[in-house]
Structure 1
Amino acid sequence: MQNDLGHFRIESDSSPPSTSTSVRVKGIIGACSGNLVEWFDFFIYAYTSIYFAAAFFPSGNQVSQLLATAGVFAVGFFMRPLGGWIFGWIADTRGRKVSMIISVFMMCAGSLLIALLPTYQTIGIAAPVLLVVARLIQGLSVGAEYGTGATYLSEASVTGRRGFFGSFQYFTIISGQLLALLTVAILQHTLSLVELKEWGWRIPFFMGAASSIVVVYLRRSMVETASRQDMKRKEAGSISSLLQHKRAVLLVLAFTGGGSLYFYTFTTYMQKFLVVSAGMSPQVVSFVMTASLICFMLSQPILGLVADKIGVKTHMLLFSGLATLLVVPILFALKTVTSPYMAFALVAAGLLIASFYTPISGLVKADLFPPTVRALGVGLPYALANATFGGTAEYVALSLRSANVESTFFYYVAVLTGITFVASLLMPDLGKHGYLDGSGEIEANTGLRKQG
């Protein structure tokens, strides 16, 4: 069956497209370029909030202003479940490509609104209200992007290389964060603090909105990985059909809860943690985080290749086991660190542990569901757990700091990654029982049973 672009033929209802390497790579580039832009737009908020917090929340001290902006950051996460649901349905019934093009337009709209938004001094309470609206739009977009992107990359890849191809999802997520961080670093060295607080923080939001034009062009030329037959099935994109895969849904929730909380602790929150708790200057912290994220980004395809050799279950056990054991001592050490080089070593160590999870994060979830509910199955439970634990990481951490019990947050992260470890033990061998390359017997098998 030919798709609308006429580039390839679908060999069966659930198989990935049989097409040339160049067409496959173009599709992956289209998916990943949008991923980069969307996450740049989403994370630039976290990295510039230290400059615009007083413009939208003028009363109180620095911690209370940051707490308010962190709350708005979390609000964006709580639109993700709705985005995962709506766009999961679109991707499963209308195609992965359509879903990803719409999501880019929505992120552009949210970024443009923030870039143009008047301050509290100009329009009063309407300013923070509109800021929340913009974050809701962006959250809806990101909720669409992750599930559909993970589904597309897993389906566009080939057996034995899925970990490698899937690693480019987080490679571009991290690239978006890194680009956001580098943009802020450049602004810090070219503008004064007064200029940054008055108008300089708006520049990255304009950049993100403008870059969506290129992404739309790239995504229009992507091949579609979902077959027409699957998209027309009555169970496609159905919540009732998704609920028939209870074990898979629970595994996604458990993986995402610990994985997202850990990831955001060492990325977005770490930027503020090193300033507020360790007492480092924003400029030094930008250097530390930039160097750490570069190492983290480069590790993605390497560990994706490793996952193709040793299996995703082993990777998940390594991530969750190491994170549970080491996150508390790493965070305690970072709280008292004084040397930027030691801070870099500790953050890089924390991110190296995360690198056992991030390259196969989308793949392991996509492999748990059949193609008719794959985008919905990846997107919706991921978004629920991500909003609950990842999106609130900064807010919870700052709240506990305000209550003078900051170290409680360290143990909270360890407990969540411990749950992820248990879920990893219970996960079936996806090479044998997953839907992409195995028998699709997820609901009938667990990692604690003898599998043959």
Structure 2
Amino acid sequence: MNTNTQATQELAAAPRTWQRSARAIFAGSVGNAVEWFDWSVYTAFAIYFSKQFFPADNDTASLLATFAVFAVGFGMRPLGGWAIGAFSDRFGRRSALTITIVMMAGSSLLISFLPTYRTIGVLAPIVMTVLRMLQGLSVGGEYGAATTFLAESAPAGRRGFHGSFLFFSIAAGLLLASALAWGMTHFMSRAALEDYGWRIPFFIGGCGSLLGFWMRRNVPETVAFEKLRRKGRIEPRSLLWTWNHHRGAVLRLVGISVLGAFSFYLFISFMPIYAIRHAGAIPGDAFAASTASIAIFMIAQPFFGALSDRIGRRPQLIAFAAAYLVFLYPVVTSIGPGFQSMLLVECFGLLTYGFYSAIAPSIMAELFSTDVRGVGIGAAYNLVVALLGGTTPYLMTWLQSIHREGWFLAYVCAGAAVSLITYWRMPETRGIELE
């Protein structure tokens, strides 16, 4: 083939490659955004429905019970990451993504119609717990499946940019949830929110998940998985096999994820409630600051992802961990009741976290081979998140009730030290081919 003919074919193939990549990003991102909207409205509206399902003598006890169910849902994430990750390694990333969004749609719609403790007694918290466990399975499976799908759909030199849309879409879902909470707290009374208003976001999320399912069902499978299937190398891999053959990758993923698990749920899920209860902030202002900071975080994701494709993954990770280790405690404890103070604190937490989140999918995908990428990421990452991230709201609420919230910040700083050591010692993986 002469040079001119080859060049012509490459130019003709470029639009098709771009269209396939754009379609993969859109399908993975939209469904992921809806999933995380569904997942996060529980925390955003917990302060309003906690006594409806977990009646107690005081608000703190009810909120603690509600966050205990939050932690139980997180406890299901490793199981979801393992089961759906293994499924994606056997039957494809697209099929796994379809299953996760159906699970989330059904559970969210059921929560929106769930009778309260006053109506059905102890069945109310039991059913709420079961549905939250189902959501935990869904989110656990979603992360591993979406990570592998986006990373395997990207060119090697653009994987950081493509992978950044995972947390871009997570932020979009969280932004919608936070914006809805902000709007409802401004235009509805607290009594209305506690009576029926909290049901609205669950219903919206359930309907949105059905839309996400429709969009995902026809997306093409990733090139990496199709290549593996054509070679006949698809085999069931147990967790034990993955541990024995990819132990270094699993341990490195754990070290990489420790600080990320803390920071995500500290600054996105709990900080508005912390500002309300600790600093005396007005709920509407707290949710407005959260909404604005999440929007800034979301916009920054593709830029941080593209930056890593130019300078590498390690520099951003090291900057993230070092900033938390040095500045987390003084910044968080300085939060005040004003909008500007809350916004500055949350922007510090989320923008420094963004150095990690934008490239986390790329780093994790680059650790594993295609035959175990789904289960390797899904099981290991979700175990870290369940143990550390899932307990964050509960621990912070309890420590705040005994005026010892500083202990938790010291705990997070210790996690920053662990991740910093991992980042410093890990090899650079920018631009490697996925096998």
Assess same fold via TM > 0.5: yes
Q: Where does residue 348 of structure 2 map in the other structure?
A: 349
Q: Does 1:74 align with 2:71?
A: yes
Q: CA RMSD in A?
A: 1.6
Q: Is the 8 A contact 1:180 1:204 kept in 2?
A: yes
Q: Does 1:260 align with 2:264?
A: no
Taking the aligned partners of 1:252 and 1:347, their CA distance within structure 2 comes to: 26
Taking the aligned partners of 1:326 and 1:305, their CA distance within structure 2 comes to: 26
Unaligned runs of 5+ in 1: 1-16, 441-452
Equivalent residue letter for 1:240: L
Q: Where does residue 317 of structure 2 map in the other structure?
A: 316
Q: Where does residue 114 of structure 1 map in the other structure?
A: 111
Q: Where does residue 48 of structure 1 map in the other structure?
A: 45
Q: Where does residue 412 of structure 2 map in the other structure?
A: 413
Equivalent residue letter for 1:122: T
Q: Where does residue 277 of structure 1 map in the other structure?
A: 278
Taking the aligned partners of 1:239 and 1:330, their CA distance within structure 2 comes to: 40
State the 4+ residue runs in structure 1 displaced beyond 4 angstroms.
none
Alignment of 1:18-37 (within 5 A): 20-37=17-34
SS of equivalent residue, structure 1 residue 404? coil
Q: Where does residue 431 of structure 1 map in the other structure?
A: 430
Taking the aligned partners of 1:382 and 1:18, their CA distance within structure 2 comes to: 35
Q: Please, which moves more after superposition, 142-151 or 158-167?
A: 158-167
Match of 2:175 among 170, 173, 178: 178
Q: Please, which moves more after superposition, 68-77 or 239-248?
A: 239-248
Q: Where does residue 6 of structure 2 map in the other structure?
A: none
Alignment of 1:36-435 (within 5 A): 36-225=33-222, 226-228=224-226, 230-231=228-229, 232-233=232-233, 235-243=235-243, 244-334=245-335, 337-431=336-430
Q: CA deviation at 1:229?
A: 5.8
Taking the aligned partners of 1:358 and 1:236, their CA distance within structure 2 comes to: 30
SS of equivalent residue, structure 1 residue 161? helix
**Superposed CA offset, 1:18-37 (max 9, x none):** 95211221121111111000
Equivalent residue letter for 2:315: T
Q: CA deviation at 1:241?
A: 3.4
Q: Please, which moves more after superposition, 36-45 or 309-318?
A: 309-318
TM-score, structure 2 as length reference: 0.93
Q: Is the 8 A contact 1:88 1:379 kept in 2?
A: yes
Taking the aligned partners of 1:228 and 1:288, their CA distance within structure 2 comes to: 44
Q: Residues 435, 68 of structure 1: CA spacing in aligned structure 2 closer, same or farther, 3 A cutoff?
A: farther
**Superposed CA offset, 1:384-436 (max 9, x none):** 0000001111111112222331110110111111101111112112137x552
Q: CA deviation at 1:233?
A: 2.6
TM-score, structure 1 as length reference: 0.89
Q: CA deviation at 1:156?
A: 0.6
Taking the aligned partners of 2:292 and 2:371, their CA distance within structure 1 comes to: 41
Q: Is the 8 A contact 2:50 2:66 kept in 1?
A: yes
Taking the aligned partners of 1:170 and 1:154, their CA distance within structure 2 comes to: 13
Equivalent residue letter for 1:295: I
Taking the aligned partners of 1:338 and 1:141, their CA distance within structure 2 comes to: 36
SS of equivalent residue, structure 1 residue 431? coil
SS of equivalent residue, structure 1 residue 157? coil
Taking the aligned partners of 1:154 and 1:402, their CA distance within structure 2 comes to: 42
Q: Is the 8 A contact 1:313 1:429 kept in 2?
A: yes
Taking the aligned partners of 2:394 and 2:116, their CA distance within structure 1 comes to: 22
Q: CA deviation at 1:338?
A: 3.3
Q: Residues 373, 419 of structure 1: CA spacing in aligned structure 2 closer, same or farther, 3 A cutoff?
A: same
Q: CA deviation at 1:188?
A: 1.9
Taking the aligned partners of 1:18 and 1:246, their CA distance within structure 2 comes to: 40
SS of equivalent residue, structure 1 residue 207? helix
Taking the aligned partners of 2:360 and 2:17, their CA distance within structure 1 comes to: 26
Taking the aligned partners of 1:426 and 1:236, their CA distance within structure 2 comes to: 32
